[in-house]
Amino acid sequence: MCLITRRRFVANASALVAGRAFAGISHNALADAKPHIEFPSSPRDRISVASYPFRAYINAPGNRDRDPKLPGMDLKDFAAEVVKKFNVHNIEPLSRHFSSLQNEDLAHFREALRSANAKAVDIAVDGDHSFYDSDLAARKRAITHAKQFVDVAVQIGCPSIRVHISRAKDSSPDVQRTAESLGDVVGHASSKNVVVNLENDDLVSEDAFFLVKVIEAVNHPFLHALPDFANSMMTGDAGFNYRAVEAMFRHAYCICHVKDGEVDDKGKRFNIDMQKTFGILKASGYRGYCSIEFDEPGDPYAPTAALIEQTRRYLA
């Protein structure tokens, strides 16, 4: 079921023609109302580093994972740190890591990116309200929050966001309600030339095959999948994980999350086959960014460096 009407699609296209594409999106996008991010071809240039693995170091009012025993940094300094430590010039900031969303502070953030010769390629947006909550007011709060970060993406020159589908206390995942909510978000995002992505993160509210149904229901060129290499492995079923990753890559466009495994709340590690997973990526024809998201206890620097080198080799 397509929830985007012809009238709404034409309106979105008109908004694109009226606006100017920001850095990273070609002028061809104005002609056919589809995102056209100009992806680099060099393996290293396709790599990004997420701020989430470095959450213990990030100073921000909304960062509940800050470890005061470790040296701290503001998110605007993260890009320079990534360039210095990893020779990578793309970052993926987490929404909770922004110290402020005021216009002046976002302008400083964009200038810091420019000074570091770096760019944000996606914003990972967390949220406390569900797009499928049976309570309309709760759904509206989720929509408003996502739209806010669409506008943040525009201000810092970022071409996409990843929205999180939170669980709802009173209802199970619902394709129709989620698609209706995200249709509203994507309508706003497309008018700003911002792609919206969905990640197979939470095994309940963001099951990969549920997300695929939502993406196909919305049926909009600015809504895509963000395949995470290992999140679906948390079921303990390797076959399910690779089927999930494959399904997600069929709908992916600009961002995926690279990791070689995941650790559950009890400390049990679930490993994945990196060669097999990169094989799925290549077979899908995916040309977007690969964001390194090491997610285990301990120092993230050395494991991130190792994942960067693995990714560089597999992309070559």
Rounded distance between C-alpha atoms, residue 4 and residue 153, angstroms: 23
pLDDT above 70: residue 1: no
Nearest to 284 by CA among 251, 240, 239: 251
In a domain, 1, yes or no: no
As for how many domains the chain has, the answer is 1
Structural domain span for residue 73: 6-315
In a domain, 186, yes or no: yes
pLDDT above 70: residue 17: no
In a domain, 191, yes or no: yes
Q: Is 268 left (phi over 0), alpha (psi -120 to 50) or beta?
A: beta
pLDDT above 50: residue 305: yes
pLDDT above 90: residue 6: no
pLDDT above 90: residue 2: no
Coil, strand or helix at 118: coil
Q: Average pLDDT of the chain?
A: 91
pLDDT above 80: residue 9: no
In a domain, 176, yes or no: yes
pLDDT above 90: residue 23: no
Q: How confident is the model at residue 265 (pLDDT cuts 50, 70, 90)?
A: confident
**pTM of the complete model:** 0.90
The mean pLDDT value for 121-141 works out to 97
Judge whether 43 and 311 are in contact, CB under 8 Å.
yes
In a domain, 84, yes or no: yes
Report, in angstroms and rounded to the nearest whole number, the Rg of the chain calculated over CA atoms: 18
In a domain, 121, yes or no: yes
Neighbours of 222 (CB within 10 A): 27
41-74 pLDDT per residue, tens: 999 999 999 999 999 999 999 999 999 999 999 9
179-202 pLDDT per residue, tens: 999 999 999 999 999 999 999 999
In a domain, 270, yes or no: yes
Q: What is the per-residue pLDDT for 306?
A: 98
pLDDT above 90: residue 82: yes
pLDDT above 60: residue 174: yes
127-130, long-range: CB < 8 A, 24+ apart: 127/95, 127/163, 127/164, 127/166, 128/166, 129/166, 130/165, 130/166, 130/167, 130/168, 130/171, 130/205
Residue 227 sits in a domain whose CATH number is 3.20.20.150
Q: How confident is the model at residue 14 (pLDDT cuts 50, 70, 90)?
A: very low
Judge whether 105 and 141 are in contact, CB under 8 Å.
no
Q: What is the per-residue pLDDT for 33?
A: 86
